[in-house]
């Protein structure tokens, strides 16, 4: 991973853009930043786990380092950050990201799908600057995460106070992500987000810039009234694709124990019976032009015990400027945005980047960005795998497997490989002592970085 960071120009970009130290004795800014990422890649869950790496002789020999910053020095480095310093760090990471993208095939640049969402970072501390109470009644921060759905890369993390709404500052971050993707060579850009991100005063600007968007939209009373007045011919049944393809034969479903308990105890149960989709043109108040409004009508049955109470009709709305895709494709595309929830879960539970171990909003923001770099390095390791020759399909499958792999699985598969470390002739050799099915992919990546 250190060699990968050097190969894509990440270390040079960090030292060039980030200036927090008066003298490099003995560490540079890139050493401090990558210390957080490598700690996460070695199963570190907090700042104190850096001490384990620092006293591991095999770890230091493998890195070719005499020592690394200790936890107190790492915490002090976080506290040196101001808002503009974190922005400089994000700029350095994006410079290296562009170098990774330049090595991709032409098909990679067909369309960039950018997702945005907020998440709560809870803390039990009482003296952390910038913390506030959220809409859930919990204390902490509310960072905004902008990601590239194609590869799962984190394009930006912006830490905010816990009482800020999800869409606060999102338009500016999306504009920066659009500029980054266009600079990287993507021919089209698509934005996705839930109802909080359908900021109507920015839709005309994105439409003028030929940026497609798909946002959830609040079920306002006037929209529900329009949906109710649509003729029956405007509605079509929404057929969702199966969750997976049966490889052998369909198995009989097991007995639904939960459903039986609900009936026996006469709990109220909601069951989806059918879904219909329709569309109409709609012009928000803050817009100068109309857009497609896709509406999904869900027919929900309310049951209590053995009795069916009454049907419940609910409407869900999506606004888009995509005139080419069908209404069903727009709905499925918006539903696919929920995959970003898995990314946020990996950042929180796997990488442990969504934490607040330091004392101010900016220092915790810097910690989130530096630690989440471990997830970005994982994605880059998959993107740098060569795809060529008669094994092209197999190589594509291996690349997708790494991009979709959970962080803990990646650490156990590619990082925790038993090796014998041998020093001879001023060289360090690592002899792999155990085989696993992913080692051929590992060696292919090593060959790329060695060249």
Give the contacts of 259 (CB within 8 A, at least 6 positions apart). Answer: 269
Is the pLDDT reported for residue 310 higher than 90? no
Higher pLDDT, 38 or 428: 38
Query: What is the rounded distance in angstroms from the CA atom of residue 16 to the CA atom of residue 93?
Result: 11
Cα dihedral: 438, 442, 448, 451 (round 10): -140
Average pLDDT over residues 112-125: 95
Q: How does residue 246 score in pLDDT terms, banded at 50, 70 and 90?
A: confident
List alpha helices for 384-431, DSSP H: 392-404, 407-410
Angle between the 71-79 and 361-383 helix axes, to the nearest 10 degrees?
110
Residues 75 and 95: their CA atoms lie apart, in Å, by: 26
* pTM: predicted TM-score of the whole model, two decimal places: 0.92
pLDDT at 451 over 80: no
pLDDT over 80 (residue 177): yes
Mean pLDDT of 375-397: 91
Q: What is the predicted pLDDT for the residue at 311? A: 82
The DSSP secondary-structure symbol of 23 reads S
**Domain limits of the chain?**
2-194+340-404, 215-243+256-330
> Residue 134 has what pLDDT?
93
What average pLDDT does the chain have? 93
Q: Are 294 and 333 in contact (CB under 8 A)?
A: no
**Whole-number pLDDT of residue 306:** 80
What pLDDT, on the 0 to 100 scale, is given for residue 26? 87
**Size of the chain, expressed as the number of residues it contains:** 451
User: Token pair 């198995």 is at which residue?
Assistant: 251
Q: In the chain, pLDDT over 70 holds for what percent of residues?
A: 100
Is the separation of the CB atoms in 297 and 311 below 8 Å? no
Q: Is 317 exposed, middle or buried (0-12, 13-18, 19+ CB in 10 A)?
A: buried
- In the three-class reduction of DSSP (H, G, I as helix; E, B as strand; rest coil), residue 340 is classed as helix
Of the candidates 344, 347, 330, the residue with the CA atom closest to the CA atom of residue 192? 330
Answer whether 61's CB lies under 8 Å from 423's CB. yes
- 380 has pLDDT over 90: yes
Q: State the CB neighbour count (10 A cutoff) for residue 355.
A: 21
194-240 tens-digit pLDDT: 999 999 999 999 999 999 999 999 999 999 999 999 999 999 999 98
Stretch 176-203: mean pLDDT:
95
Neighbours of 401 (CB within 10 A): 14
**Alpha carbon separation from 378 to 32, 399, 414 (Å, rounded):** 19, 11, 10
Q: What angle do CA 444, 446, 449 make, to 5 degrees?
A: 115
Angle formed at CA 304 by CA 302 and CA 305, multiple of 5 degrees: 140
Look at residue 406 and tell me whether its pLDDT is greater than 80.
yes
Alpha carbon distance 246, 251 (integer Å)? 9
**What was the pLDDT predicted at 307?**
83
């Amino acid at each position: 991973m250190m060699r990968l960071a050097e190969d894509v120009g990440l270390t040079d970009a960090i030292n060039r853009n980030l200036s927090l130290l008066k003298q490099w004795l003995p560490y540079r800014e890139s050493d401090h930043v990558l210390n957080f990422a490598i700690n996460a890649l070695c199963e570190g869950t907090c700042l104190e786990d850096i001490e384990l790496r620092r006293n591991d002789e095999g770890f230091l020999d493998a890195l070719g380092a005499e020592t690394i910053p200790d936890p107190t020095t790492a915490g002090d480095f976080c506290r040196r950050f101001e808002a503009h310093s974190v922005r400089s760090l994000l700029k350095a990471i994006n410079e290296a990201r562009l170098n990774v993208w330049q090595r991709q095939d032409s098909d990679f640049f067909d369309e960039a799908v950018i997702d945005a969402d907020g998440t709560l970072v809870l803390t039990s501390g009482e003296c952390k600057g910038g913390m506030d109470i959220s809409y859930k009644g919990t204390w902490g921060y509310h960072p905004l995460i902008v990601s590239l759905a194609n590869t799962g890369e984190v394009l930006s993390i912006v830490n905010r106070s816990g009482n800020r709404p999800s869409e606060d500052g999102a338009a500016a971050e999306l504009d920066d992500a659009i500029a980054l993707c266009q600079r990287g060579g993507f021919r089209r850009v698509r934005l996705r987000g839930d109802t909080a991100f359908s900021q109507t005063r920015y839709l005309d600007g994105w439409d003028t810039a030929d940026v497609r968007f798909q946002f959830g939209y609040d079920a306002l009373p006037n929209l529900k009234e329009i949906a109710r007045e649509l003729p029956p011919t405007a509605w079509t049944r929404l057929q969702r694709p199966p969750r997976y393809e049966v490889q052998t034969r369909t198995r009989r479903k097991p007995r639904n124990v939960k459903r039986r308990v609900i009936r026996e105890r006469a709990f109220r149960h909601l069951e989806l019976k059918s879904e219909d989709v329709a569309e109409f043109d709609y012009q928000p108040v803050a817009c100068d032009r109309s857009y497609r409004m896709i509406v999904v009508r869900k027919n929900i049955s309310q049951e209590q015990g053995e009795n069916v109470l009454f049907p419940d009709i609910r409407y869900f709305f999506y606004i888009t400027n995509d005139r080419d895709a069908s209404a069903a494709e727009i709905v499925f595309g918006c539903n696919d945005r929920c995959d970003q929830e898995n990314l946020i879960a990996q950042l929180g539970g796997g990488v442990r980047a969504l934490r607040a171990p330091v004392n101010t909003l900016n220092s915790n923001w810097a910690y989130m960005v530096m630690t989440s770099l471990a997830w970005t390095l994982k994605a880059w390791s998959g993107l740098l795998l060569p795809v060529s020759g008669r094994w092209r399909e197999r190589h594509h499958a291996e690349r997708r497997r790494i991009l979709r792999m959970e962080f803990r699985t990646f650490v156990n598969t590619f990082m925790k490989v038993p090796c014998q470390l041998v020093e001879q002739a001023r060289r360090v050799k690592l002899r792999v002592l155990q085989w696993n099915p992913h080692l051929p992919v590992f060696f292919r990546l090593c060959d790329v970085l060695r060249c």
